[in-house]
Amino acid sequence: MVRVGLTGGIGAGKSTVSARLAARGAVVVDADRLAREVVEPGSEGLAAVVDRFGPGILTDDGALDRPALGRIVFADADAEARRALEAITHPRIAARTTELFDGAAPDAVVVHDVPLLVEKRMGPAYHLVVVVGAHEDIRADRLRATRGMSEDEARARIGAQATDAERRAAADVWLDNDSTHDALVASVDDLWEHRLLPMEENVRLGRRAERSALEVVEADPRWAAAGERLVARLRHVLGDDAVTVDHVGSTSVPGLVAKDVIDVQVGVRGLADADGERFVEAMARAGFVRVDGVTQDRGKDGRPWPKRFHASTDPGRAANIHVRAVGSLGWEWALRFRDWLRADPTAREEYATTKRALAARFPATGAYAEAKEPWFDAAHPRALAWAGEHGWQARVETPRSS
Protein backbone atom coordinates (compact mmCIF):
# COMPACT_ATOMS: atom_id res chain seq x y z
CA MET A 1 0.00 0.00 0.00
CA VAL A 2 1.10 3.53 -0.74
CA ARG A 3 -0.22 6.42 1.34
CA VAL A 4 -0.49 9.76 -0.46
CA GLY A 5 -1.25 13.04 1.25
CA LEU A 6 -3.16 15.40 -1.04
CA THR A 7 -3.61 19.07 -0.32
CA GLY A 8 -3.83 22.51 -1.91
CA GLY A 9 -5.00 26.00 -1.12
CA ILE A 10 -8.61 26.99 -1.51
CA GLY A 11 -9.47 27.42 -5.19
CA ALA A 12 -6.34 25.60 -6.38
CA GLY A 13 -8.18 22.58 -7.78
CA LYS A 14 -7.60 19.88 -5.17
CA SER A 15 -11.10 18.47 -5.63
CA THR A 16 -10.47 17.94 -9.33
CA VAL A 17 -7.28 16.02 -8.57
CA SER A 18 -8.97 13.95 -5.87
CA ALA A 19 -11.81 13.02 -8.21
CA ARG A 20 -9.44 12.06 -11.00
CA LEU A 21 -7.32 9.90 -8.72
CA ALA A 22 -10.48 8.15 -7.53
CA ALA A 23 -11.49 7.57 -11.15
CA ARG A 24 -8.10 6.01 -11.84
CA GLY A 25 -8.55 3.58 -8.95
CA ALA A 26 -7.22 5.30 -5.85
CA VAL A 27 -8.95 4.88 -2.50
CA VAL A 28 -9.72 8.44 -1.47
CA VAL A 29 -10.17 9.26 2.21
CA ASP A 30 -11.68 12.76 2.35
CA ALA A 31 -10.97 14.51 5.65
CA ASP A 32 -13.76 17.06 5.14
CA ARG A 33 -16.27 14.29 4.42
CA LEU A 34 -15.25 12.45 7.57
CA ALA A 35 -15.58 15.66 9.58
CA ARG A 36 -19.22 15.77 8.48
CA GLU A 37 -19.75 12.04 8.95
CA VAL A 38 -18.75 11.98 12.63
CA VAL A 39 -21.46 14.52 13.51
CA GLU A 40 -24.28 13.13 11.37
CA PRO A 41 -27.75 12.87 12.95
CA GLY A 42 -27.84 10.00 15.42
CA SER A 43 -24.06 9.80 15.83
CA GLU A 44 -22.21 9.78 19.13
CA GLY A 45 -20.21 12.72 17.86
CA LEU A 46 -23.26 14.90 17.37
CA ALA A 47 -24.59 13.91 20.78
CA ALA A 48 -21.32 15.00 22.36
CA VAL A 49 -21.38 18.33 20.49
CA VAL A 50 -24.95 18.99 21.65
CA ASP A 51 -23.99 18.09 25.21
CA ARG A 52 -21.14 20.64 25.08
CA PHE A 53 -22.75 23.48 23.13
CA GLY A 54 -26.47 23.00 23.75
CA PRO A 55 -29.49 22.13 21.56
CA GLY A 56 -29.34 25.52 19.86
CA ILE A 57 -26.77 24.15 17.41
CA LEU A 58 -29.35 21.76 15.90
CA THR A 59 -31.71 22.40 12.99
CA ASP A 60 -35.42 21.58 13.27
CA ASP A 61 -34.81 18.14 11.75
CA GLY A 62 -32.04 17.27 14.24
CA ALA A 63 -29.02 17.88 12.02
CA LEU A 64 -26.04 20.00 12.97
CA ASP A 65 -26.62 23.68 12.25
CA ARG A 66 -23.13 24.51 11.12
CA PRO A 67 -23.60 28.29 10.88
CA ALA A 68 -25.00 28.35 14.42
CA LEU A 69 -22.10 26.32 15.75
CA GLY A 70 -19.67 28.47 13.80
CA ARG A 71 -21.00 31.63 15.42
CA ILE A 72 -20.29 30.16 18.84
CA VAL A 73 -16.86 28.82 18.02
CA PHE A 74 -15.53 31.85 16.17
CA ALA A 75 -16.94 34.32 18.70
CA ASP A 76 -14.75 32.81 21.40
CA ALA A 77 -11.64 35.00 21.51
CA ASP A 78 -9.79 32.52 23.74
CA ALA A 79 -10.47 29.65 21.30
CA GLU A 80 -11.72 27.48 24.18
CA ALA A 81 -14.83 26.58 22.22
CA ARG A 82 -12.77 25.58 19.18
CA ARG A 83 -10.55 23.38 21.31
CA ALA A 84 -13.59 21.76 22.91
CA LEU A 85 -15.09 21.03 19.48
CA GLU A 86 -11.81 19.61 18.22
CA ALA A 87 -11.52 17.41 21.31
CA ILE A 88 -14.85 15.87 20.32
CA THR A 89 -14.39 15.57 16.58
CA HIS A 90 -10.66 14.98 16.00
CA PRO A 91 -10.35 11.61 17.82
CA ARG A 92 -13.42 10.34 15.97
CA ILE A 93 -12.09 11.55 12.62
CA ALA A 94 -8.72 9.95 13.36
CA ALA A 95 -10.33 6.64 14.31
CA ARG A 96 -12.45 6.59 11.17
CA THR A 97 -9.42 7.52 9.04
CA THR A 98 -7.42 4.65 10.51
CA GLU A 99 -10.33 2.29 9.87
CA LEU A 100 -10.50 3.28 6.20
CA PHE A 101 -6.73 3.02 5.72
CA ASP A 102 -6.64 -0.37 7.41
CA GLY A 103 -9.55 -1.57 5.30
CA ALA A 104 -7.88 -0.75 1.99
CA ALA A 105 -6.50 -3.57 -0.14
CA PRO A 106 -2.78 -4.43 0.17
CA ASP A 107 -2.19 -3.13 -3.37
CA ALA A 108 -4.12 0.10 -2.91
CA VAL A 109 -2.99 3.64 -3.48
CA VAL A 110 -4.72 5.45 -0.62
CA VAL A 111 -5.09 9.20 -1.08
CA HIS A 112 -5.76 11.21 2.07
CA ASP A 113 -7.42 14.45 0.96
CA VAL A 114 -6.57 16.96 3.73
CA PRO A 115 -7.04 20.72 3.21
CA LEU A 116 -4.76 21.70 6.13
CA LEU A 117 -2.09 19.03 5.67
CA VAL A 118 0.72 21.60 5.46
CA GLU A 119 -0.58 23.74 8.29
CA LYS A 120 -0.82 20.68 10.55
CA ARG A 121 2.62 19.36 9.50
CA MET A 122 1.22 15.97 8.54
CA GLY A 123 3.56 15.32 5.60
CA PRO A 124 5.93 12.81 7.28
CA ALA A 125 3.07 10.32 7.70
CA TYR A 126 2.82 9.66 3.94
CA HIS A 127 4.95 8.04 1.28
CA LEU A 128 4.34 11.11 -0.88
CA VAL A 129 2.75 14.52 -0.49
CA VAL A 130 0.98 15.91 -3.57
CA VAL A 131 0.17 19.61 -3.61
CA VAL A 132 -2.11 21.30 -6.13
CA GLY A 133 -1.04 24.88 -6.76
CA ALA A 134 -2.29 27.88 -8.69
CA HIS A 135 -1.48 31.58 -8.76
CA GLU A 136 -3.33 33.59 -6.13
CA ASP A 137 -5.08 35.77 -8.73
CA ILE A 138 -6.41 32.69 -10.51
CA ARG A 139 -7.61 31.19 -7.25
CA ALA A 140 -9.37 34.41 -6.29
CA ASP A 141 -11.11 34.50 -9.67
CA ARG A 142 -12.28 30.92 -9.21
CA LEU A 143 -13.64 31.63 -5.74
CA ARG A 144 -15.64 34.58 -7.03
CA ALA A 145 -17.00 32.55 -9.94
CA THR A 146 -17.76 29.26 -8.20
CA ARG A 147 -18.51 30.26 -4.60
CA GLY A 148 -19.85 33.76 -4.99
CA MET A 149 -17.20 35.35 -2.79
CA SER A 150 -16.26 38.98 -2.99
CA GLU A 151 -12.70 39.92 -3.85
CA ASP A 152 -11.96 40.72 -0.21
CA GLU A 153 -13.49 37.48 1.02
CA ALA A 154 -11.51 35.43 -1.46
CA ARG A 155 -8.22 37.12 -0.59
CA ALA A 156 -8.90 36.73 3.14
CA ARG A 157 -9.57 33.00 2.79
CA ILE A 158 -6.41 32.55 0.73
CA GLY A 159 -4.33 34.62 3.17
CA ALA A 160 -5.51 32.57 6.16
CA GLN A 161 -3.92 29.41 4.76
CA ALA A 162 -0.33 28.29 4.22
CA THR A 163 1.73 30.21 1.69
CA ASP A 164 2.83 28.77 -1.64
CA ALA A 165 6.41 28.70 -0.35
CA GLU A 166 5.33 26.57 2.62
CA ARG A 167 3.39 24.23 0.37
CA ARG A 168 6.25 23.87 -2.10
CA ALA A 169 8.58 22.94 0.75
CA ALA A 170 6.14 20.21 1.79
CA ALA A 171 5.46 18.93 -1.74
CA ASP A 172 7.05 15.80 -3.13
CA VAL A 173 4.86 16.46 -6.17
CA TRP A 174 3.61 19.89 -7.25
CA LEU A 175 0.68 19.86 -9.70
CA ASP A 176 0.40 23.22 -11.40
CA ASN A 177 -3.18 24.28 -12.10
CA ASP A 178 -2.67 27.67 -13.70
CA SER A 179 -3.82 26.31 -17.05
CA THR A 180 -6.83 24.28 -18.17
CA HIS A 181 -8.84 21.48 -16.60
CA ASP A 182 -7.59 19.08 -19.27
CA ALA A 183 -3.98 19.99 -18.56
CA LEU A 184 -4.46 19.28 -14.84
CA VAL A 185 -6.13 15.93 -15.57
CA ALA A 186 -3.26 14.99 -17.89
CA SER A 187 -0.72 15.75 -15.16
CA VAL A 188 -2.67 13.60 -12.69
CA ASP A 189 -2.76 10.73 -15.18
CA ASP A 190 0.99 11.01 -15.69
CA LEU A 191 1.55 10.98 -11.91
CA TRP A 192 -0.67 7.91 -11.56
CA GLU A 193 0.93 5.91 -14.36
CA HIS A 194 4.58 6.79 -13.89
CA ARG A 195 4.97 7.33 -10.16
CA LEU A 196 2.11 6.15 -7.95
CA LEU A 197 1.44 2.77 -9.54
CA PRO A 198 5.14 1.83 -9.89
CA MET A 199 5.85 2.94 -6.33
CA GLU A 200 2.95 0.91 -4.96
CA GLU A 201 4.24 -2.18 -6.71
CA ASN A 202 7.76 -1.55 -5.48
CA VAL A 203 6.61 -1.13 -1.87
CA ARG A 204 4.42 -4.23 -2.04
CA LEU A 205 7.17 -6.36 -3.58
CA GLY A 206 9.96 -4.90 -1.46
CA ARG A 207 12.16 -3.72 -4.31
CA ARG A 208 14.03 -0.50 -4.92
CA ALA A 209 13.01 1.79 -7.76
CA GLU A 210 14.77 1.29 -11.04
CA ARG A 211 17.04 4.16 -12.04
CA SER A 212 18.19 5.34 -15.37
CA ALA A 213 21.81 6.47 -15.52
CA LEU A 214 22.20 9.57 -13.38
CA GLU A 215 24.44 12.42 -14.50
CA VAL A 216 26.33 14.93 -12.43
CA VAL A 217 24.27 18.11 -12.66
CA GLU A 218 24.45 21.64 -11.35
CA ALA A 219 23.22 22.19 -7.81
CA ASP A 220 19.44 22.25 -7.46
CA PRO A 221 18.12 24.51 -4.68
CA ARG A 222 15.21 22.09 -4.23
CA TRP A 223 17.56 19.40 -2.89
CA ALA A 224 17.57 20.97 0.57
CA ALA A 225 13.78 20.73 0.94
CA ALA A 226 13.76 17.20 -0.48
CA GLY A 227 16.35 16.24 2.11
CA GLU A 228 14.32 17.82 4.90
CA ARG A 229 11.22 15.88 3.84
CA LEU A 230 13.09 12.59 3.84
CA VAL A 231 14.65 13.34 7.22
CA ALA A 232 11.23 14.13 8.69
CA ARG A 233 9.69 11.01 7.14
CA LEU A 234 12.42 8.77 8.54
CA ARG A 235 12.12 10.33 11.99
CA HIS A 236 8.38 9.65 11.88
CA VAL A 237 8.85 6.06 10.72
CA LEU A 238 11.66 5.05 13.08
CA GLY A 239 10.83 6.97 16.24
CA ASP A 240 13.28 6.15 19.02
CA ASP A 241 15.10 3.61 16.85
CA ALA A 242 16.77 6.56 15.10
CA VAL A 243 19.09 8.56 17.34
CA THR A 244 20.08 10.93 14.52
CA VAL A 245 18.80 11.52 11.00
CA ASP A 246 20.74 13.85 8.70
CA HIS A 247 20.84 14.89 5.05
CA VAL A 248 24.41 14.10 3.96
CA GLY A 249 26.31 13.67 0.71
CA SER A 250 26.74 16.10 -2.14
CA THR A 251 23.10 17.23 -2.35
CA SER A 252 23.37 18.45 1.26
CA VAL A 253 26.10 20.95 0.29
CA PRO A 254 24.65 24.16 -1.22
CA GLY A 255 26.12 24.97 -4.61
CA LEU A 256 27.86 21.63 -5.15
CA VAL A 257 27.34 19.70 -8.38
CA ALA A 258 25.95 16.22 -7.76
CA LYS A 259 23.95 13.33 -9.09
CA ASP A 260 20.28 13.87 -8.34
CA VAL A 261 20.27 11.50 -5.38
CA ILE A 262 19.40 12.44 -1.81
CA ASP A 263 21.63 10.70 0.73
CA VAL A 264 20.39 10.46 4.30
CA GLN A 265 22.28 9.05 7.26
CA VAL A 266 20.36 7.36 10.06
CA GLY A 267 22.34 7.02 13.26
CA VAL A 268 21.40 4.06 15.48
CA ARG A 269 22.67 2.89 18.86
CA GLY A 270 24.14 -0.18 17.23
CA LEU A 271 23.75 -2.07 13.96
CA ALA A 272 21.92 -4.83 15.82
CA ASP A 273 19.02 -2.36 16.02
CA ALA A 274 19.20 -1.82 12.26
CA ASP A 275 19.14 -5.59 11.71
CA GLY A 276 16.05 -6.05 13.86
CA GLU A 277 12.80 -7.11 12.22
CA ARG A 278 10.95 -4.05 13.51
CA PHE A 279 13.46 -1.65 11.94
CA VAL A 280 13.70 -3.43 8.59
CA GLU A 281 9.93 -3.86 8.22
CA ALA A 282 9.17 -0.28 9.25
CA MET A 283 11.61 1.01 6.66
CA ALA A 284 10.17 -1.23 3.95
CA ARG A 285 6.58 -0.19 4.69
CA ALA A 286 7.67 3.43 4.46
CA GLY A 287 9.24 2.85 1.04
CA PHE A 288 12.92 2.32 1.96
CA VAL A 289 13.87 -1.29 1.26
CA ARG A 290 16.94 -3.01 2.63
CA VAL A 291 19.63 -3.68 0.01
CA ASP A 292 21.40 -6.90 0.90
CA GLY A 293 25.12 -7.14 0.37
CA VAL A 294 25.90 -3.50 1.12
CA THR A 295 27.30 -3.77 4.62
CA GLN A 296 30.33 -1.51 4.75
CA ASP A 297 32.16 1.55 3.49
CA ARG A 298 35.83 1.62 2.63
CA GLY A 299 37.26 3.23 5.72
CA LYS A 300 39.83 5.98 5.67
CA ASP A 301 41.89 4.06 8.24
CA GLY A 302 42.33 1.09 5.91
CA ARG A 303 39.59 -0.96 7.54
CA PRO A 304 35.94 -1.54 6.56
CA TRP A 305 33.44 0.73 8.28
CA PRO A 306 30.23 -1.25 8.93
CA LYS A 307 26.83 0.08 7.89
CA ARG A 308 23.46 -0.98 6.50
CA PHE A 309 21.89 0.40 3.36
CA HIS A 310 18.32 1.05 2.22
CA ALA A 311 17.09 2.50 -1.07
CA SER A 312 13.93 4.33 -2.07
CA THR A 313 11.02 2.65 -3.83
CA ASP A 314 9.94 5.97 -5.36
CA PRO A 315 10.71 6.17 -9.09
CA GLY A 316 10.44 9.94 -8.90
CA ARG A 317 13.01 10.53 -6.16
CA ALA A 318 16.27 8.61 -5.95
CA ALA A 319 17.33 8.34 -2.32
CA ASN A 320 19.94 6.33 -0.44
CA ILE A 321 19.64 5.71 3.29
CA HIS A 322 22.92 4.89 5.05
CA VAL A 323 22.46 3.38 8.53
CA ARG A 324 25.49 3.65 10.81
CA ALA A 325 26.11 3.36 14.52
CA VAL A 326 26.25 6.72 16.27
CA GLY A 327 29.84 7.57 17.15
CA SER A 328 31.30 5.14 14.62
CA LEU A 329 34.03 6.34 12.29
CA GLY A 330 31.76 6.15 9.23
CA TRP A 331 28.91 8.03 10.93
CA GLU A 332 31.24 10.81 12.06
CA TRP A 333 33.03 11.00 8.68
CA ALA A 334 29.79 11.61 6.76
CA LEU A 335 28.89 14.56 8.97
CA ARG A 336 32.38 16.04 9.10
CA PHE A 337 32.91 15.77 5.33
CA ARG A 338 29.58 17.50 4.66
CA ASP A 339 30.28 20.33 7.09
CA TRP A 340 33.83 20.81 5.79
CA LEU A 341 32.59 21.17 2.21
CA ARG A 342 29.90 23.59 3.34
CA ALA A 343 32.51 25.73 5.06
CA ASP A 344 35.43 25.54 2.61
CA PRO A 345 34.74 26.92 -0.88
CA THR A 346 38.17 25.85 -2.17
CA ALA A 347 37.61 22.23 -1.17
CA ARG A 348 34.09 22.38 -2.55
CA GLU A 349 35.24 23.59 -5.97
CA GLU A 350 38.08 21.07 -6.04
CA TYR A 351 35.62 18.27 -5.33
CA ALA A 352 33.21 19.59 -7.99
CA THR A 353 36.01 19.56 -10.58
CA THR A 354 36.91 16.01 -9.63
CA LYS A 355 33.30 14.87 -9.82
CA ARG A 356 32.79 16.33 -13.30
CA ALA A 357 35.97 14.72 -14.62
CA LEU A 358 35.24 11.30 -13.14
CA ALA A 359 31.62 11.31 -14.24
CA ALA A 360 32.75 11.85 -17.82
CA ARG A 361 35.09 8.84 -17.57
CA PHE A 362 32.90 6.51 -15.46
CA PRO A 363 29.19 6.82 -16.33
CA ALA A 364 28.23 3.73 -14.30
CA THR A 365 27.31 4.61 -10.71
CA GLY A 366 29.44 1.92 -9.07
CA ALA A 367 32.57 2.70 -11.07
CA TYR A 368 32.08 6.43 -10.50
CA ALA A 369 31.77 5.95 -6.74
CA GLU A 370 34.87 3.78 -6.64
CA ALA A 371 36.85 6.28 -8.72
CA LYS A 372 36.19 9.01 -6.13
CA GLU A 373 37.82 7.06 -3.28
CA PRO A 374 41.41 8.28 -3.90
CA TRP A 375 40.19 11.88 -3.69
CA PHE A 376 38.38 11.08 -0.43
CA ASP A 377 41.55 9.48 0.94
CA ALA A 378 43.58 12.58 0.14
CA ALA A 379 40.90 14.92 1.47
CA HIS A 380 40.43 13.06 4.76
CA PRO A 381 43.42 14.63 6.61
CA ARG A 382 42.38 18.09 5.40
CA ALA A 383 38.88 17.61 6.76
CA LEU A 384 40.32 16.39 10.06
CA ALA A 385 42.59 19.43 10.25
CA TRP A 386 39.66 21.76 9.55
CA ALA A 387 37.61 20.07 12.26
CA GLY A 388 40.44 20.49 14.75
CA GLU A 389 41.00 24.15 13.90
CA HIS A 390 37.33 24.99 14.26
CA GLY A 391 36.47 22.78 17.21
CA TRP A 392 34.02 20.78 15.12
CA GLN A 393 32.21 17.94 16.85
CA ALA A 394 29.60 15.55 15.50
CA ARG A 395 26.13 16.38 16.77
CA VAL A 396 24.42 13.64 18.77
CA GLU A 397 20.76 14.12 19.54
CA THR A 398 18.91 12.88 22.58
CA PRO A 399 16.63 10.03 21.52
CA ARG A 400 13.05 11.21 21.23
CA SER A 401 10.13 9.45 22.83
CA SER A 402 7.47 8.38 20.35
Is the fold of 2-205 the same as that of 216-390?
Answer: no
- Annotation-wise, does 14 bind a ligand? yes
Domain 216-390 in CATH 3.40.50.300: no
Average pLDDT, integer, range 195-218: 94
pLDDT at 74: 77
pLDDT at 397: 57
Instruction: Give CATH superfamily name and number for 2-205.
Output: P-loop containing nucleotide triphosphate hydrolases (3.40.50.300)
pLDDT at 144: 92
- Annotation-wise, does 15 bind a ligand? yes
Q: In this predicted model, what pLDDT tens digit does every residue of 128-159 receive, in sequence order?
A: 999 999 999 999 999 999 999 999 989 998 99
Residue 297 backbone phi and psi in degrees, to 5 = -105, 160
- Annotation-wise, does 7 bind a ligand? no
Provide the residue count of the chain: 402
Q: In this predicted model, what pLDDT tens digit does every residue of 19-60 receive, in sequence order?
A: 999 999 999 999 999 999 999 999 999 999 999 999 999 999
Q: Which are the contacts of 141, defined by CB distance < 8 A and separation ≥ 6?
A: none
What is the widest separation between alpha-carbon atoms in the chain? 81
- Sketch the domain layout of the chain as residue ranges: 2-205, 216-390
Question: Sign of dihedral through CA atoms 124, 130, 135, 136?
Answer: negative
Task: Determine the angle formed by the axes of helices 66-75 and 80-103, rounding to 10 degrees.
Answer: 130
- Annotation-wise, does 219 bind a ligand? no
Contact present, 335 and 394 (Cβ < 8 Å): yes
